[in-house]
Amino acid sequence: MKNQITRLENALQMWEDRCWFYRKVNYFTQKTGQIPIRPQCPRVGPVAHSDSLRKHLLQACNPNATFELERYCGVGELREFLIPQLLPYYLWQWTQCSRRIYHISAELQLFLRATALDGVTWGEVKMPFDSFAIQLNDPIKDPKSGQLYDVLFISKHEIQRSSLDLVLLNKKLEDYTAVTSTKRQSIEQDFRDRQWDKIGHWLKALNARHNECLATEININLDRMQGAAIEDYPEADAEKDKVDHPHADVASLWEQTVRTLVGLCLYLRTLPVGSSHQSEWKPVHKTVGLLDAKCITREALICAVSSIHTITREERQILAQAVSGQGGYELRAHFRCGHWRRPPGLGLDPSAEKTVWVRPSWVRRDRLPKDGVPGGSEFILS
């Protein structure tokens, strides 16, 4: 399970490269009067100080240390340039709060995505930690852009307001290679040699590469949404404040993300202590040789979570069609969407937590013709 850790590291590497990139773009414009990338990013906050960021992040191991927010994340004017803008703070908080990554099985993820959150409010959701990550065997797909996201990074914080930020890390980050110190020195030499065409071409190529690997961020104002139904939120006003990605399908990403996150939080509360479906926290296995001393993820812990229900091949196919939008509830044999409800006898008690999981279920088998089988299943003739 290597990529749970490297994905966080790669996200930070690209974020650092992005800050350095904007410094080079500004210098290029200053020397040539040309603007290779629009709009121009101001040289403030992390764009000016990213070189010392990693050293600062390593101080998060000290519980008494304080994160320098304005210096390493900047202010609102950088939001459109650095996505997610608060990534350094998220990593700082993750280091101090948990260093935890949940690895959920494909079966469990499929069940969670097929379970509605009707009537569940944000006030009922108890996060296991203020900051943690979820590794997805089956990446979340944005149907509009086609982008795949296989790590969900969660941060609950009190910066300016009570917020829950959900960062979807792009699967393409697994192939991202940071700009090496040798390459940076080569670019600096090109600046000294006034190789403007060469530099301009390289800056545009790096910008295109970064755009391919962009994360998507969902911001939830808990002060305003505490009593709101979770799945109703995409219909609320100010959608642009929720999902931070220029090409995202807001409603689809919202549903896939919150069903996975909230469903996992509710599911964990149903598992008894010592359940075989939730592993012990295990340290990340070291790779060959020594780990990079600058790697802020070197002490992460992983917990594997699996489904208590074994899914059949027929169930898997029909569920997958339903959650992807390719199927629906009018199939001759189909699954009814699962949901969460209060324990028996407490259905009318608004203070009772929804801790009973009614899993997605097979309904209306009677609609199959005689000797008929649901699409995609195996039928043996004798």
Q: Is this prediction's pTM over 0.75?
A: yes
Q: Is the predicted pLDDT of residue 37 greater than 50, yes or no?
A: yes
Mark residue 64 as left, alpha or beta (left: phi above 0; alpha: psi -120 to 50; beta: remaining).
alpha
Query: Averaged over 50-77, what is the pLDDT?
Result: 89
Q: Residue 381: inside a domain, yes or no?
A: no
pLDDT at 381: 31
202/327: higher pLDDT: 202
196/379: higher pLDDT: 196
Query: Averaged over 207-216, what is the pLDDT?
Result: 92
pLDDT-based confidence at 167, cuts 50/70/90? Answer: very high
φ, ψ of residue 356 in degrees (nearest 5): -105, 120
Q: Please give the C-alpha separations between residue 99 and each of 72, 102, 130, 132, 362, in angstroms, as whole numbers.
A: 20, 10, 11, 7, 38
Query: Averaged over 101-105, what is the pLDDT?
Result: 88
Percentage of the chain beyond pLDDT 90 is 32
139 and 252 part of one domain? yes
Q: Residue 25: inside a domain, yes or no?
A: yes
223 and 75 part of one domain? yes
pLDDT at 16: 93
Write the CB contacts of 139 (distance below 8 Å, at least 6 apart in sequence).
Answer: 148, 149, 150, 171
85/300: higher pLDDT: 85
172 and 198 part of one domain? yes
298 and 343 part of one domain? no
Mark residue 281 as left, alpha or beta (left: phi above 0; alpha: psi -120 to 50; beta: remaining).
beta
- Domain edge (last residue) among 305, 329, 354: 305
Count Cα neighbours of 57 within 13 Å in the Cβ-side half-sphere: 29
287 and 332 part of one domain? no
pLDDT at 338: 78
pLDDT-based confidence at 5, cuts 50/70/90? Answer: low
Query: Averaged over 352-372, what is the pLDDT?
Result: 66
Percentage of the chain beyond pLDDT 70 is 72
189 and 268 part of one domain? yes
Strand, coil or helix: 174: helix
pLDDT at 235: 45
Q: Residue 272: inside a domain, yes or no?
A: yes
Q: Is the predicted pLDDT of residue 203 greater than 50, yes or no?
A: yes
Structure tokens at 183: 């390459």
pLDDT at 285: 53
Query: Averaged over 343-362, what is the pLDDT?
Result: 75
Query: Averaged over 10-27, what is the pLDDT?
Result: 93
Query: Averaged over 199-218, what is the pLDDT?
Result: 92
Q: Is the predicted pLDDT of residue 335 greater than 60, yes or no?
A: no
252 and 349 part of one domain? no
Q: Is the predicted pLDDT of residue 83 greater than 70, yes or no?
A: yes
For residue 357, the enclosing domain spans 313-367
Q: Residue 344: inside a domain, yes or no?
A: yes
- Domain edge (last residue) among 280, 305, 330: 305
pLDDT at 139: 93
289 and 356 part of one domain? no
- Domain edge (last residue) among 305, 323, 358: 305
373/227: higher pLDDT: 227
Rounded distance between C-alpha atoms, residue 84 and residue 82, angstroms? 6
The 10 Å Cβ neighbour count of residue 318 is 23
Write the CB contacts of 2 (distance below 8 Å, at least 6 apart in sequence).
Answer: 287
224-267 pLDDT tens trace: 877 777 876 544 444 444 455 555 567 888 888 999 999 999 88
Q: Is the predicted pLDDT of residue 210 greater than 80, yes or no?
A: yes
For the chain, the domain total comes to: 2
325 and 294 part of one domain? no
Q: Residue 373: inside a domain, yes or no?
A: no
Q: Residue 379: inside a domain, yes or no?
A: no
Q: Residue 130: inside a domain, yes or no?
A: yes
Q: Is the predicted pLDDT of residue 147 greater than 50, yes or no?
A: yes
- Contact (CB, 8 A) for 364 and 340: no
Q: Is the predicted pLDDT of residue 148 greater than 90, yes or no?
A: yes
Rounded distance between C-alpha atoms, residue 168 and residue 73, angstroms? 18
The type of residue at 261 is L
pLDDT at 51: 92
Q: Is the predicted pLDDT of residue 77 greater than 50, yes or no?
A: yes
333 and 254 part of one domain? no
Tell me the average pLDDT of the chain.
78
Query: Averaged over 116-138, what is the pLDDT?
Result: 88
Nearest C-alpha neighbor of 304 from the set 136, 99, 126, 122: 136
- Contact (CB, 8 A) for 106 and 138: yes
151 and 271 part of one domain? yes
300 and 349 part of one domain? no
Q: Residue 374: inside a domain, yes or no?
A: no
Q: Which of 265-274, 307-316, 334-343 has the lowest mean pLDDT?
A: 307-316
The 10 Å Cβ neighbour count of residue 11 is 23
